[in-house]
Structure 1
């Protein structure tokens, strides 16, 4: 167990680079480490058995009432990402049909179409002759995909303003979470006033969008239509507007910057490993022969799938997952007190050499063919695991594979 005083002394360094600190902790103290934070007990676990226990086996004893999710709740409300208990169960049951693979197939044309538009800009735009700011390009790509798949809208001023206002609000709550003064949100500061205005804008725009769609009464094949049509399997009740608002904001948070960042890391990894890029191009040429990909093609592109999942192993969409213990328990034979903060880092778990030989090596073959057979399910957790597995994981895989298949052919 790390010395409490030592942890306190290192808090500034921990805040600057928590991933390095957690990785060093795993090396120094093992896969089941207790330590004290200024106002709570904490446990860092880095073994698939322990992660499975918390996220699946005894998940009912571990909720999301942690600083990580409290921060997102300020903006996203009680969406699937943040809610617990009966609220989460009801919303998951209603929202699940919107993310079935067959329903997602209807969204793939928008993904490919927007990737083609980006490809054409790259081919004809003079500003792309020397270099491409790939992060900005991926942000500009995932925004219209989000607008079309979520709202069946082009990137109008309304949608773009909603997305960017949510991003600004998230920046604020992250600033607030790191602020040394817990009550800073109550001070009469311009930043607090701007945040309140941003939240008013988010609510106004989201509810207007929902109201317009309810009045139209037309199924447009997008995710918002699926939410509006969804009914609770037990009661037959539709999702209330507040719940739809929370899910829309949650999906924007998950589907915009997170998706763009994942794609940025994937292109970076390919740029650093030209032999892997060449093998990917060879597979794409053999299967697609220069035509645009469809959802039906994805099952015939195993190496592409390996590239995507290996990039998520090295740079997972969520670098940390947290839970809070509800009642007393034991994890790996060590007692856990109620209220203990449980910390799981996919970033660190995916570098555990006991489960990932040569973990820093980028090797898509880890996810091709029989390579996954025998691997612990919870050794790879880019989207969490257990009942709270991210509902959008299939959407993310499909979107990423289609974008890469479209752009990498050039």
Structure 2
């Protein structure tokens, strides 16, 4: 039997200890042993090294439970000041930026309203540079104290190479966008599909906390999906995750901006609903930005416009059918829905849940929860910061696995 590489096993064990402290801290070493199933000696050695590095703090000494005698327990927690990272979320109408500490706690946030689809890639990178520098200053930090930048955006995004292959924000051409921002700020930059960043953030802070596997579906100007399997973000070929928005719902159906037809996005995204409304003469494409136009359509439907209500009902039914397919195919214990597209409330939710109920196998439906979780701009950007923090904590693991010395940049010290 082949023995696992000792260096890789040490790196994996280190990550699991850090993750247990992050999730459950303040926590005693004996509790880390229980959660990770590592030996007491291994946990003691790893936590000792983390304390020496400054990543983990000794927070306090707990007295014996109920006043009982015995050796007091030392409680450990992540040192928030060990790292500072930047999260950026790009959407059709704005750039959202958040600075977080090593625990993912927000220190400062900034929202720049701008129609990104009208801007060149270089202009968008310039706007991000200016926004990041301003937000870092608001957090009373220097750029040398920033250990990494994470950017989330919709589209077909290769999170490994930092290339946007197609995005409604950056356009249809392959763009090495991570490198463009990195050149401007001199700080290692990751880009990621925005649904993936939501999945990671839900795993850290939200309704995915404590779950090893779950799915996230984002409903905005695009339809996205992030998938956590066995505690890790799923990636397919070329580092690109699931593209739920481009599963085919109708052969030869409505044209999608990806260049194909019948995509879920053409029916259930904000963009798709607006396109349908304009074709039916229910909306004027020349009036206002897409976010405001969608809000107006929702109001009209809620006030009794039967044609618009039917349009939202179709969108919800299509989305529900896609979610039913996720449930039947993957059987996740929880599917979390989020995004501005949920602003339509029961107009979308009622047909969505009806389609799920009608199309998921009964046994699988009983074991699955569907959760609606509205997010604000800060939480989206905070999710982007999690991409960087995850990479920092996994850096020794990735280095041992891939033998990539450049990962050392993620372990930049607190002093910068």
TM category (shorter chain) comes to under 0.3
TM-score (norm 2): 0.24
TM-score (norm 1): 0.24
* Bigger proportion of residues as strand: 2
**Which fold has the larger relative contact order, with Cα–Cα distance below 8 Å and residues 6 or more apart in sequence?**
1
